[in-house]
Amino acid sequence: MPEVLLSNDDITVLGPPEILEVLVDIGPAGIRGSQVFVGIGDPNDPDTVIGQTPIINDLYINTSPGENYSYMYQYQDLPGGPSWVEKLKINPTIYSNKFSPTYTSGAASITIPIADIVTVSGPALVAGNFSIQCTINNANPVAVSAVPSVSGTDLTISLKAASYSGSSWSSLSGAVTTYILITIVEV
């Protein structure tokens, strides 16, 4: 209660209270902040172990290699009940895979659905949007070129490769393990 320091009919001056108490350890616990879980598999799959009961707005990152690797999900309250909703891929512009195309006279091609590489939400991608790195598994040194082209919803990579043995180059032939790494770039 404030103490009266001066008083008359026109003005009253009040001072601070004699004692001020601040209680910091009393009251109910607040709602936990957004928790980020990391696990193996789709969080909507009942077999996926999360470790705690999620609350609305919690996040989950899938570390299982495969189609949904590195996707981040958010736990949302939906009309059918709470569910994990896919929000984004943490590394959305990187794609890598191993292929075994058959080379004929040093030429081969690989076709990949663009949707497997990146989710397109803006203008359609063109060949110049794809930066392709290619490595060929071979006992001898290999020179390779990779030329992208886009047709509809697919990216086709035309490969030309030659192997160096002794003192000469020869065109690759047969099924050869080929590693492809693709990143998305602006044109």
Q: What is the pLDDT along the chain (187 residues), one digit of tens a residue?
A: 566 666 677 777 677 777 888 777 777 777 777 889 998 889 999 898 888 889 999 999 988 776 777 889 999 999 999 999 998 877 656 889 999 999 999 999 999 998 888 876 567 889 998 999 999 999 999 999 999 999 988 999 999 999 999 899 999 999 999 999 998 887 6
Same domain, yes or no, for 58 and 108? no
Same domain, yes or no, for 19 and 86? yes
Check residue 1 and give its pLDDT: 57
Check residue 32 and give its pLDDT: 74
Range of the domain at 159: 94-184
Tally of CB atoms within 10 A around 5 = 10
Per residue, what are the HEC states of 105-163? Answer: CCEEEEEEEHHHHCCCCCCCCCHHHEEEEEEECCCCCEEEEEEEEEECCEEEEEEEEEE
Same domain, yes or no, for 20 and 67? yes
Does residue 4 lie within any of the structural domains? no
